[in-house]
A and B are shown apart, each in its own frame.
Chain A
């Protein structure tokens, strides 16, 4: 800790000023000291005359008056003059040095203030910024120097933060929007059921069914929201496992749902094809694709799961015979909470997050998900995973 350091010395401006002035003072003192030393040495070494010294009292006959004069030795006189000069020099030098120090302190203070002004601005802006208004920018002008680069870096960091917060806000707004609708259904139906004292038979049962449906929807939505949030944290486990197992598991999971609507659920998965990734996440991705396909494909049609080796890795495809999507819809299909018009309302059932989750899982594995479809001709969702394809040796 800065124990015993006075507060004023914690200002960079003061420190810079003192440091520069002291350095200037020291340099100037060195120069002046050198000059003084050199001068004093040369004055001592070279007396101007080496002539004989006369010391006598000479009677001067000048109109009868006798004046006594003292003759000083020339060398001594010169020495005295030199000493006097040196003394003057010393005095002026010290005065000049002190003056210089004072002026340099004043100038240094002004200059340091000017140089440090951008930092003061950065500090002010940073203090003003709160998470709620990240739109503030420093926007420092002036030469492209270190401070400008610092300010620009700060600005671009704010930009990224702003975007992140905005996307977070959008997500929260979307999620609350999606949660409010089933809440409204529950609330209005409960209110009706409770307020009708003499309800016709079956009306309460009907309300219960509606509320149950809304609750299931909220549960599914909450599950999906949590799944999406969990995907944001890097907890993926990467392990190799046979692709066929995944496909068979998923097929078994959806067999009864498919059978209930007489939908044929086909799986094409060659052996010896390995996936490399988070098994649970990939199972969820495939399940979401299947759930989507089964929801949109008509009764009595076919849904196909296929796994194959592709140029970039492994291609996992789910094909349905549903109504398909046009180009505009295909662009939006992976957005959160987007649903095809026909998939809304009572029978829609989806949370609107399923395909967004698939996309996140694909991206977390360094892969991608795409859709190819024509209106009226069904749709194929392709999950492409960049994994190494390894023949399984010695097993199976």
Chain B
């Protein structure tokens, strides 16, 4: 799951990014409206945390332009969570009318922000607390715990994010590029073998747990797939 944090206060942006990375999201940060717009049209963000008060292009305009943009390039519309220090009813109504999916007033607790992000990224049919389950695999993003056949998996944050992304799309063939753009943030170097290496370590840990059949299989010429009935 890839998230863009747009906030002109660097100290706040850094804290939000750290908090969300800890939850296993790939997080990019932007400090200005125009820059945010460029990033939003470049990367396939699943969610954008958008501050309203931004230099050069304000948050509401950014929101309208993202919502108004023609997504011909195959990028799906991101969920938008507005962050603002303006708490008035009108501000909240305007924000939602501009196309935001949710509105959070500053100051907020990171745990609430994380819960709202989880709620916004929840897919239809998914458990309310965001828990994912595919075959013998279970993953609880709120508690940051993943198990395979009841056995606890000791995963790094990146492996956890990767597994979560696989589990949110069971049975789908995902290319390395898909994984890179959704699980890694913009600091990842696409020329390294970081995706392949992480998939490898994840598979090794899955294999070590319980001795069941490997749930992550290679799709020749395309990439990887998590077996539905894993």
Footprint of B on A, CB under 8 Å?
A: 173, 176-178, 180-181, 183-189, 191-192, 195-196, 210, 213-214, 341-342, 344-346
Contact = CB atoms under 8 A, between A and B. Distances in A.
B125 interface: no
Given A177-B85, A183-B107, A191 B11 contact: no
Contacts, number: 74
B126 interface: no
Given A183-B106, A186-B107, A189-B11, 20 more contacts: A176-B85, A176-B87, A180-B85, A180-B87, A181-B106, A185-B9, A188-B109, A188-B110, A191-B110, A192-B15, A192-B18, A192-B22, A195-B110, A196-B22, A210-B11, A341-B32, A344-B8, A344-B9, A344-B55, A345-B9
A89 B109 CA distance: 97
Is the contact region of chain A dominated by helix, strand, or loop, or is it mixed? Answer: helix
Interface in B1-54: 8-12, 14-16, 18-19, 22, 31-32, 53
Contact of B10 (A177, A180, A346): A346
Given A176-B85, A185-B12, A191-B109, A341 B55 contact: yes
A188 B55 contact: no
Contacts of A176: 85, 87
Of the four ranges (under 10, 10 to 19, 20 to 34, 35 or more), the interface on chain B belongs to: 20 to 34
A210 B53 CA distance: 20
Interface in B101-126: 105-111
Nearest to B10: A346
A15 B107 CA distance: 62
Contacts of A181: 9, 12, 85, 106
Interface of B: 8-12, 14-16, 18-19, 22, 31-32, 53, 55-56, 85-88, 105-111
Nearest to B111: A191
B19 A192 contact: yes
9 contacts: A173-B86, A181-B12, A183-B107, A188-B109, A191-B19, A191-B110, A196-B22, A344-B8, A346-B9
A166 B60 CA distance: 23
A183 to B, nearest CB: 4
Q: Which of A188, A213, A341, A345 counts the most B-chain CB atoms under 10 A from its CB?
A: A188
